Amino acid sequence: MFRPGVLYSYRLNGDTDRPDPASRFQPQGVHGPSQVADSRFNWTDDSWRGLPLDEYVLYELHVGTFTPQGTFDAIIPRIADLKLSASPQLKLCPLAQFPGSRNWGYDGVYPFAVQDSYGGPQALKRLVNACHQQGMGVVLDVVYNHLGPEGNYAGDFGFYFTDMYKTPWGAALNFEQGHSDEVRRYFIENALQWHH
Nearest to 96 by CA among 117, 111, 81, 86: 111
What average pLDDT does the segment 115-130 reach?
A: 97
Q: Model confidence at 74, in pLDDT bands (50, 70, 90)?
A: very high
Return d(Cα 81, Cα 76) in angstroms, integer: 10
Scanning the chain, the segments in alpha helix (DSSP H) are: 63-66, 72-75, 79-85, 120-133, 180-193
Return d(Cα 135, Cα 114) in angstroms, integer: 23
Percent of the chain with pLDDT over 90: 69
pLDDT for 29 equals 95
pLDDT tens for 153-184 read 999 998 999 998 888 877 889 999 988 999 99
What average pLDDT does the segment 26-51 reach?
A: 93
pTM for this prediction? 0.92
pLDDT for 87 equals 66
Q: Model confidence at 85, in pLDDT bands (50, 70, 90)?
A: low
pLDDT for 8 equals 95
Nearest to 178 by CA among 191, 193, 159, 192: 159
